[in-house]
Amino acid sequence: MKINHMMRLGVSVIALTAGAALAQESTDPIKLTLHDWTGQLITTELMGSILQKAGYNVEYVQADYLAQFAGLETGDLHVAMEMWETTGREAMDAATATGKVVNLGPTGMKAKEEWWYPSYMVEKCPGLPNWEALKEPACAEAFATAETAPKGRYLGGPVTWGGFDEERIEALDLPFEVIHAGTDAALFAELESAVQRKAPIMLWIYAPHWAPAKFEGDWVAFPEYTPECYSDPAWGINPDMAYDCGKPFGEIWKVGWAGLADKWPGAEKAIKAFTIDNAEMGAMITEVDLNGKTVEAVVADWMEKNEARWSGWIN
């Protein structure tokens, strides 16, 4: 995500259109959360724009990806458009178990988040993509930097994304150290630089995104995730520690405050109906991150081209 897009975080955008159909619904703003990666900003502004077309009052609020559930439980926040199965399932399940947060269904996008490396690194670590190759000292050293040597360096996402990478390294006894990127933009800027120089890099890559399509590489094949891997230390390779597996793959969910249906029933229906696929989202992220368009311009273009589609979600 480019820095200029981050300037929009925390800024309220309010639009109210009179409509008889909404007369019985609240005119209070529906608060949609914004996070710190391009795709989520796009998804959220798409939903906000659709709700505005239906006459709802919409406000965008910056919120931490995992800590946002406190606000969703109290009703201070109302809708989060992207909760990834790969990193947010535990927080989402804990919140929905309270009865104060509801799962509003899948976005239609499928999530993958894992350790990723460019193909030119296979020559220096020939056992890849098998995770056990990373245990070899020579392989770890191939991914090392001055700050981590002799351990390999794993460039993780911003700390707020979660992901349990430190725990994974410890449970699988990997000679690697996690260095967290400060922002989504910094993460992918470092990838671009490394690939241009054919420099060693192992980092967090997620999909849908432009990076795995633009660059030749692969995800590390860790032991397959099961819920027990995260909850039961006795499960898996390490009998004493949890997280001895890869990250889960799966849906990207929409979640919301449980009071949404009573206060804004039409909006809840539209949010549940919202769906978009990886290809569409990947193309829009590419327009923003690689082609220099603003989130607002990309969203406006999608809205214009898909009016028949989104109008069905609000009617």
Lowest mean pLDDT among 1-5, 166-170, 228-232, 264-268: 1-5
Fold (topology level) of 3-109+251-313: D-Maltodextrin-Binding Protein; domain 2 (3.40.190)
- Please report which confidence band the pLDDT of residue 193 belongs to, taking 50, 70 and 90 as the band edges: very high
Which residues, in sequence order, are bridge partners of residue 237? none
Q: How many other C-beta atoms can be found within 10 angstroms of the C-beta atom of residue 195?
A: 18
Mean pLDDT over the full length of the chain: 92
For the chain, domain boundaries: 3-109+251-313, 112-231
In this prediction, residues 303-309 reach a mean pLDDT of: 96
- What's the confidence (pLDDT) of residue 61? 98
Buried (b) or exposed (e) across 147-168, using 16+ Cβ within 10 A? Answer: ebeebbbbbbbbeebbbbbeeb
pLDDT recorded at residue 262 = 96
Q: How confident is the model at residue 4 (pLDDT cuts 50, 70, 90)?
A: very low
Q: What is the pLDDT of residue 8?
A: 40
Judge if 3-109+251-313 and 112-231 fold alike in CATH terms. yes
pLDDT band at 24 (very low <50, low <70, confident <90, very high): low
Band the pLDDT of 152: cuts 50, 70, 90.
very high
Are 28 and 281 a contacting pair, CB within 8 Å? Answer: no
Pick the range with the lowest mean pLDDT from 1-10, 99-108, 109-118.
1-10
CATH code for 112-231?
3.40.190.100
Residue 3, pLDDT > 50, answer no
What does the alpha-carbon distance between residue 161 and residue 35 come to, in Å, rounded to a whole number? 10
Q: How far apart (Å, rounded) are the C-alpha atoms in residues 266 and 246?
A: 39
Give 40-52 pLDDT, tens digit per residue. 999 999 999 999 9
